[in-house]
Amino acid sequence: MKISTMKELLEADIVCCEDLLNEHVYSACGSDMMSDVLAFVKDQAVLLTGLVNSQVIRTAEMMDMICIVLVRSKLPTPEMIELAKESGIAILTTKKRMYDACGILYTNGLVGNKLRA
């Protein structure tokens, strides 16, 4: 699914890295616990979270993610935006709750990521 499609489906705003809107993501992970995110396979995933700190960007970077969606109208800190720009990670923000956002993406074809064995 293209990031631009996610943006439309979630009625989201893009905060940084608009040049990535035509990039594809192939799976999604929704969590506020970055340790849980680290349990997922690197597979062009998008991270949906309500957590707003620089660890979100660092975790996404470690997992080769190219997009983060902040749910519940959360806004990234200036430090997060700067790190995301440096790392080439798009940040979107939506008013939707995580459960709803994940459900919308799933019903439109974006699958979850497989756990590591």
Residues 33-84 have pLDDT tens digits of: 888 888 765 666 899 999 999 999 999 999 989 999 999 999 999 999 999 9
Which range marks the domain in which residue 84 is found?
A: 3-109
Structure tokens at 52: 């707003």
* Assigned domain for 115 exists: no
* Assigned domain for 78 exists: yes
Q: How far apart are CA 74 and CA 111, in angstroms?
A: 24
Predicted pLDDT at 107: 96
Structural domain count, the chain? 1
Alpha carbon separation from 50 to 44, 57, 71, 95, 117 (Å, rounded): 20, 13, 5, 11, 27
CATH number at residue 44: 3.40.1390.20
Summary mean pLDDT of the chain:
91
Structure tokens at 57: 């960007």
